[in-house]
Chain A
Amino acid sequence: MPQEPVDVLIIGAGASGAAMAWSLAETKMHIVCLEQGALMNPLTYPSTGRDWEARSTSDFATNPNVRGLVTDYPINEDDSPIKVANFNGVGGGTVLYAGHFPRFHPSDFRVKSLDGVADDWPIDYNQLAPYYAENEKMTGVAGMNGDPAYPSDNAPRLPPLPLGESGKVLAKGFNALGYHWWPSDTAIITEDYDGRAGCINLGACGAGCAQGAKGSADVTYWPHAQRAGVELRTRCRVREITVGPDGMATGARYVTGDGVEKEIKAHVVVVACNGIGTPRLLLNSKSPQHPDGLANSSGLVGKNLMFHPYAWIQGMFEEQTDGFAGPHKLMRSQEFYETDQSRGYVRGYTLEIQRGMPPVRTAHTGLRHKRIPWGEGHHDAFRRMFNHCTGMVAVCEDLPEEHNCVTIDPVLKDSDGIPAPKISYTLSENSKRMLQHGVDRATEILQAGGATDVYSEWPIPYGGWHLMGTARMGTDPSRSVVSEWGRAHDCKNLFIIDGSIFVTSAGVNPTNTIQALALYVADQMKQRLANATLFD
């Protein structure tokens, strides 16, 4: 096999890049993936050491500016009340995610038609449904069939995560008010699955799962993709995507971990760098053929940045809760998911239950919310709170607004001298009303469950986990960056497959949808390869 040009170059080995690599591997094409970070070693994850909580404020912090690893790139976040959470390494953000793995609802693809806001997606739930199922099979999802908030999917699920003591008090609260709740669909295997060992309740899901029970892409898709022949090159940071005189992508220039500049030629380039990294790369890939950045004739690369604004609400209980043990997520409520105009906002949110807190986090939370004082009274207050708290977050749908955007910072650069992104983001009035509604309802639920004290905050400042919308899909090249099957309107051998291509954000965690979309785009590519129409 000739080394170059390779058939497919995938940039980014996170959730979407991993799924794409695995799916395309069956074609036996020469596929190379470049990843700026390293292959993770679970033996070094924080939960293997006594300082496991502290490392969430240093090398396993969710914010790249705090983490500051050589594999990270800085982000100017001065103009955003919500800071970015990501991870750069094989598996990407899934290394640190909590594993919440819901599907979008059918209505989430039809926001314009149903509620007159934003835009409809060019695809629908039914088109994605088989790819959701395939993704859930590859990942291993715990949960329970029969949720009345969703259409029936008959998907095979592993037994749900334990309700525990936290679930008991919260379920009582939801039930007392007649509100919906259901065991979460979670990418955490509750029994051995696909060569991986089941969850043992380490309680440190957000800092990498040393057990391998959490379905991060490095332990789900990548072992299969590599065995099928995909070449994964780590510590390779792409500087720009190169183009030929015809404007087609020809490959990429990248920098290795030891600072060597290299170039790779490819017939097809797939960008999978997340909602911040993807527009950064496209905007850094200017050429005479694409003077405003690659695939940016619409001017929409980097625009319509969506997070999910989060509200956090916690209660203190007389009863003992689960404290630090067990996965963070156990149940969800979608009582307030769909639009009800009487609430004063459009669209809605999911209430995601959070089990409890380990000691350091208890202290930090108690101090921040003035439940634990300095000095006299510290110890009594700490012990009242420790193992006696549980609560939830409201994951609010964020609507696309062009002024919320990713641009290239004129000064800031990463350690390889590549210009860094800047985000500009403002919470909409709709989001603010939705967040407050979430706080009010969650407070009622916690009180109904027996909470003696409730405290909250919104938005969660370091809660920019979900990065979406900055290279949206659509059928109109003047209003979107990629087509309904993920190909750039401006560049017929360039594909984008991460959260950037979301048209709207829904009110649930996006990873299942990101990966389902990647599998869907991969299938579209394979079909068009088969009938030689990929570049038509």
Chain B
Amino acid sequence: MTRETPPEGHLLNETEWHTLRALADVIVPPSEKYGVPGAGDEAIAKTIVKDANYGDKLARLIAALDTLNAMSQGVHGAEFALLREDQREAVAFTFREEQPAAATLAEQLVTQCYYRDDRVVASLGMELRPPMPEGYQVEQGDWSLLEQVQKRQPFHRPAG
């Protein structure tokens, strides 16, 4: 991963930004098979930071990233983002095990941004649009399945 500085006006410092991108890539790595980027992609990571800036989420995300970095420093003596891929995975999985609340926050933020990225949405066969105003088609389905229940005698309980 390149070590460019965070975008101007960014809410994370440089270490936090790189840690976030590295962690996001561990959670959702890029896939050649499906032709999609990892969640550490710069555009997706910017969206993650934007979404985190609500209520106390940003503070909790930063605390989570700090914890992850502290774990990385403790085991390998280096920032999480600077570890080899296998080392990052091992530290991240330990983080998930030992810090479930922090890990859940991170994975929720990462995936809520990843799964609305145009490239990812297109790979799922979805149209690149919000639900409104076109909406969607849903088949009526097979109402003959109800016939079995319609033959049943009333079984509600009398009120006494």
Q: Is A124 an interface residue (CB 8 A)?
A: yes
For the complex formed, measure the closest distance between the CB of A322 and the CB atoms of chain B, giving whole angstroms.
6
Q: Is B140 an interface residue (CB 8 A)?
A: yes
Q: Is A203 an interface residue (CB 8 A)?
A: yes
For chain A, residues 107 to 125, give those with C-beta under 8 angstroms from any C-beta of chain B: 107, 109-110, 113-114, 124-125
**Contact yes or no, A375 B33, CB < 8 A:** no
Chain A, residues 64-101, CB within 8 Å of chain B (1/0): the string is 00101000000000000000000000000000000000
**Contact yes or no, B155 A148, CB < 8 A:** yes
Count of residues in A whose CB is under 8 Å from the partner chain: 71
**Contact yes or no, A386 B139, CB < 8 A:** no
CA A364 – CA B31 in complex, angstroms?
A: 19
Chain B residue nearest to A48 in the complex (CB): B132
Majority secondary structure, A binding face: loop
From B92, B141, B142, B154, contact of A151 by CB (8 A): B154
Q: Which residues of A contact B148 (CB under 8 A)?
A: 175
From B115, B128, B136, contact of A363 by CB (8 A): B115
Chain B residue nearest to A367 in the complex (CB): B107
**Contact yes or no, A50 B142, CB < 8 A:** no
Chain B, residues 109-124, CB within 8 Å of chain A (1/0): the string is 0011111100001001
For chain B, residues 90 to 144, give those with C-beta under 8 angstroms from any C-beta of chain A: 92-93, 96, 104, 107-108, 111-116, 121, 124, 126, 128-143
Q: Is A343 an interface residue (CB 8 A)?
A: no
Stretch at the interface among A161-169, A306-314, A464-472: A161-169
**Contact yes or no, B141 A53, CB < 8 A:** no
Majority secondary structure, B binding face: loop
For chain A, residues 161 to 189, give those with C-beta under 8 angstroms from any C-beta of chain B: 162-165, 167-168, 171-172, 174-175, 180-183
Most buried by A among B92, B128, B159: B159
CA A125 – CA B157 in complex, angstroms?
A: 12
For the complex formed, measure the closest distance between the CB of A117 and the CB atoms of chain B, giving whole angstroms.
14
Q: Is A211 an interface residue (CB 8 A)?
A: yes
**Contact yes or no, B131 A148, CB < 8 A:** no
For chain A, residues 34 to 61, give those with C-beta under 8 angstroms from any C-beta of chain B: 45, 47-54, 57-59
**Contact yes or no, A375 B29, CB < 8 A:** yes
Q: Which residues of B contact A107 (CB under 8 A)?
A: 156-160
**Contact yes or no, A200 B115, CB < 8 A:** no
Q: Which residues of A contact B89 (CB under 8 A)?
A: 375
Chain A, residues 217-244, CB within 8 Å of chain B (1/0): the string is 0000000000000000000000000000
Q: Is B28 an interface residue (CB 8 A)?
A: yes
**Contact yes or no, A359 B153, CB < 8 A:** no
Q: Which residues of A contact B153 (CB under 8 A)?
A: 148
Q: Is A326 an interface residue (CB 8 A)?
A: yes
Chain B residue nearest to A176 in the complex (CB): B148
From B29, B92, B108, B136, contact of A325 by CB (8 A): B136
With A151-B156, A374-B93 given, is the CB distance from A172 to B107 under 8 Å?
A: no
Q: Which residues of B contact A262 (CB under 8 A)?
A: none
Q: Is A379 an interface residue (CB 8 A)?
A: yes
**Contact yes or no, A114 B28, CB < 8 A:** no
**Contact yes or no, A210 B139, CB < 8 A:** no
Q: Which residues of A contact B1 (CB under 8 A)?
A: none
**Contact yes or no, A58 B51, CB < 8 A:** yes
**Contact yes or no, B116 A379, CB < 8 A:** no
CA A324 – CA B125 in complex, angstroms?
A: 13
Q: Which residues of A contact B116 (CB under 8 A)?
A: 50-51, 53-54, 359-360
Q: Which residues of A contact B145 (CB under 8 A)?
A: 163, 167-168, 171-172, 175
CA A378 – CA B120 in complex, angstroms?
A: 13
**Contact yes or no, B27 A374, CB < 8 A:** yes
Q: Is A259 an interface residue (CB 8 A)?
A: no
For the complex formed, measure the closest distance between the CB of B13 and the CB atoms of chain A, giving whole angstroms.
23
Cross-chain pairs A/B with CB under 8 angstroms, 21 sampled: A48-B130, A50-B130, A51-B51, A110-B159, A149-B155, A152-B154, A163-B140, A163-B143, A175-B148, A175-B149, A181-B146, A200-B133, A201-B135, A202-B132, A203-B136, A325-B137, A363-B114, A374-B96, A375-B29, A375-B92, A379-B31
Interface contacts beyond A105-B157, A168-B141: sample of 10 additional A-B pairs, CB < 8 Å, sorted by A: A148-B153, A149-B156, A163-B142, A171-B146, A175-B145, A199-B135, A200-B133, A360-B115, A363-B112, A383-B34
Q: Which residues of B contact A (CB under 8 A)?
A: 26-29, 31, 33-34, 36, 51, 54-55, 89, 92-93, 96, 104, 107-108, 111-116, 121, 124, 126, 128-143, 145-146, 148-150, 152-160
